[in-house]
Amino acid sequence: MNHYELDNEWPVRYFCLIFISATDMIPELNYLLSCVEKHYGRKLATTSDYESLSIMIEKETGELISSSTLKRLFGYVTMKPVPRKSTLDILARYVGKRTYELFCSSIMSDQSLNSTFFSAKTVSAADLVPGQKVRIGWNPDRVVTLEYLGEMAFEVIESINSKLMKGDRFNLAAFFKGYPLYIAQILRNGEYTDPYMAGMHEGLNMLDVLPLEK
C-alpha cells in the first residue's frame, strides 16, 4: 500500500529529489538525527562511521539498525526513506528516550529548545485537551479534521480529498505549519499501516485549533 501523497502525473525523475527534500524538512526527525550523531561522538562521514554506529546502537539498545539503513536515513546514499516507527523508536532509545513519540514530546516541553529550534506555527499535543479538534490542510485541496483523544493520540473525524480515512488513529507530538506531516504509523481497521507523509512538497498550509464545542 502506498501512503505517500504524490500526484501520479509528476515525472518519476523528480521523485527522489522531492522525497529527500520532504524528509529534510521534518524538524523533529532532523533533530533526532542530530542527537544520534552527537551521542555517537563525531560527524558521520564515512562508510566505517555508519558501520560503527550500527554496532554502537545494537550494543546500547540491544536492537539492530543496519548500516545501510542508517546511510539512507542520514542521506549518505542517494535516497532518504521515510523511516518506519520501529527504526525511530530504536534511535530514540539510543539517545535516552523510550519511544519516538516521547522524544518529540520532550522537544515540545522544552521551552528554550522549542523557541529556538522551531520557528513555524506549531500546535503541540501537550497544549490540547481531549475532545479538542484540529484542522489541517495541504495542497492540492486536502483538508482533514482531527479530534484529540489524549496521550498524543488523534482520530480522523473528517477527511476531504486525502488518503487519511475517517476513524484512522495515530500518535503525534506536534504539528508544524509549513512542514510535511509525518505519521510513523496509523491504526486503521485494527491494523497498523506503513509510515505516512502528507504535504511532502510544500508542507501543511492549514493548521487551526477549533473552539471547544459547548
Cα–Cα distance measured from residue 104 to residue 82, given in angstroms and rounded to the nearest whole number = 16
> Which cell numbers in the block locate residue 208?
487551526
Tell me if the pTM is above 0.75: no
Q: Same structural domain for residues 102 and 22?
A: yes
pLDDT higher than 90, residue 129: yes
Cα–Cα distance measured from residue 15 to residue 192, given in angstroms and rounded to the nearest whole number = 25
Q: Same structural domain for residues 98 and 167?
A: no
What is residue 135's predicted lDDT score, i.e. its pLDDT?
A: 97
Looking at the 3D structure of the chain, how many domains does it have?
A: 2
The domain boundary residue, chosen from 69, 92, 117: 117
Report the DSSP beta bridge partners of residue 198: 181
Domain that holds residue 158: 122-209
What is residue 187's predicted lDDT score, i.e. its pLDDT?
A: 95
Q: Same structural domain for residues 88 and 146?
A: no
pLDDT digit string (tens) for 24-60?
557 778 888 889 999 999 888 899 999 999 999 999 9
The domain boundary residue, chosen from 96, 117, 138: 117
- Collapse the DSSP code of 54 into the 3-class scheme (helix H, G, I; strand E, B; otherwise coil) and give the result: helix
The domain boundary residue, chosen from 65, 86, 117: 117
As a whole number, mean pLDDT of residues 121-141 equals: 91
Q: Same structural domain for residues 141 and 166?
A: yes
Contacts of 138 (CB under 8 A, 6+ apart): 5, 181, 198, 199, 202, 203, 204, 205, 206
Report the DSSP beta bridge partners of residue 143: 137, 160
pLDDT higher than 70, residue 3: no
pLDDT band for 72, please (50, 70, 90 cuts). Answer: confident
139 domain residue, yes or no: yes
214 domain residue, yes or no: no
As a whole number, mean pLDDT of residues 177-195 equals: 89
Q: Same structural domain for residues 131 and 205?
A: yes
Residue identified by cell 506555527 is 121
What is residue 53's predicted lDDT score, i.e. its pLDDT?
A: 95
What is residue 28's predicted lDDT score, i.e. its pLDDT?
A: 79
Lowest-confidence region among 82-96, 107-121, 133-147, 161-175: 107-121
Say how many Å lie between the first and final Cα of the chain, rounded.
39
Q: Same structural domain for residues 39 and 52?
A: yes
